[in-house]
Amino acid sequence: GGGGEDTASGGEAGSGKIVLGFSQVGSESGWRAANTKSVKDSAATAGIDLKFSDAQQKQENQIASIRSYIQQKVDVIAFSPVVVTGWDAVLKEAQAAKIPVILTDRAVDSDASLYATFIGSDFVKEGEEVGKWALEEFKSATGPVNIVQLEGTVGSAPAIDRKKGFEATIASNPNLKVIASQSGDFTRAKGKEVMQALLQANPKIDLLFAHNDDMGLGAIEAIKAAGLKPGTDIKIATIDAVKDGMTALAANEINFIAECSPLLGEQLMELTKKAAAGEPLEKRIVTKETTFTPQQAAEVLSTRQY
């Protein structure tokens, strides 16, 4: 701190605190709300001066706020990239300004030398977990198992990787077929809208794989509106395990959830302190997570924080 304008630890003049500029994806889901809360609460606890912006799921907004953080000479920049591509220029600008960048939650396809570290889940593994569950659930099927997939935001790391992990895993049983796959942008409203169309176009759907709880919850509304029973007439698997998802899982309206933890704040603040002090960071930090059946969801529901 101390307000030195051209030092790495300059930050806000006179505050003496480390200044972290954080660009969030948006407020598209329950997961995102929990992630934002975790970042804000952890910054306050760690005594870090947090500058927060919400990009509303638009890359151009994220690039603009990262540029503004560079101009303000924050100590560290962190962001959760909406999409994987298109970050080289702005990452080079941060590097030229000697401001370390921490990726949280989502990956970029830029060279790893352009950022300090990346903390977040293994999205491929999450897709594989759902795939393994589906193989087991439908192992005795003698005919085709029709699967529809609600994908996350087009071009985002979780949408790309969850699809990849899921589809590669179910490929071992030729009965399991993805008959339709469309983006629902990780939102409840889009999940409902797209599921409505999928139900109209496909008379027999056995399984819905939604890339997050929110799209699954939106789809449940569409399934009920079509006179079908979610979790029974159409099996449903999702990713995240936020409270609303876990509630539907415990009620057997969802059949399986692979967890994706949004609680990245505390670790992010530790990394921010190290980065501001110029300490070397591990390039990749993978979040620990688990999976839930309806019974497991019922057991942990009352103590679920988010």
The footprint of ligand AHR (CB under 6 A) covers 28-29, 31-32, 105-106, 158, 186, 212, 214, 239-240, 260
- Of residues 29 and 110, the one with the C-beta less far from ligand AHR: 29
Structure tokens at 227: 């006179």
Per-residue H/E/C for 178-190: EEEEEECCCCHHH
Q: For residues 20-36, b (16+ Cβ closer than 10 Å) or e, as one string?
A: bbbbbbbebbbbbebbb
Helices (H), the chain: 30-46, 59-71, 88-96, 123-137, 157-170, 188-201, 213-225, 243-250, 265-276, 294-300
- Of residues 11 and 127, the one with the C-beta less far from ligand AHR: 127
Structure tokens at 6: 């051209």
For residue 73, the minimal CB distance to ligand AHR (Å) is 29
Place of tokens 């927060």: 52
For residue 160, the minimal CB distance to ligand AHR (Å) is 11
For residue 204, the minimal CB distance to ligand AHR (Å) is 28
Which one, of 73, 58, 47, lies nearest residue 23 by Cα? 58
For residue 117, the minimal CB distance to ligand AHR (Å) is 17
- Of residues 32 and 274, the one with the C-beta less far from ligand AHR: 32
- Of residues 110 and 146, the one with the C-beta less far from ligand AHR: 110
- Of residues 268 and 276, the one with the C-beta less far from ligand AHR: 268
For residue 159, the minimal CB distance to ligand AHR (Å) is 9
Stated length of the chain: 306
Q: Is 264 within 8 Å of 297 (Cβ atoms)?
A: no
- Of residues 9 and 27, the one with the C-beta less far from ligand AHR: 27
Which one, of 113, 116, 109, 149, lies nearest residue 131 by Cα? 149
- Of residues 73 and 190, the one with the C-beta less far from ligand AHR: 190
For residue 26, the minimal CB distance to ligand AHR (Å) is 8
For residue 211, the minimal CB distance to ligand AHR (Å) is 7
Q: Is 243 within 8 Å of 300 (Cβ atoms)?
A: no
- Of residues 151 and 240, the one with the C-beta less far from ligand AHR: 240
7 Cα distance to chain centroid:
34
CB burial of residue 165 (10 Å; 0-12, 13-18, 19+) = buried
For residue 135, the minimal CB distance to ligand AHR (Å) is 22
Q: Is 11 within 8 Å of 279 (Cβ atoms)?
A: no
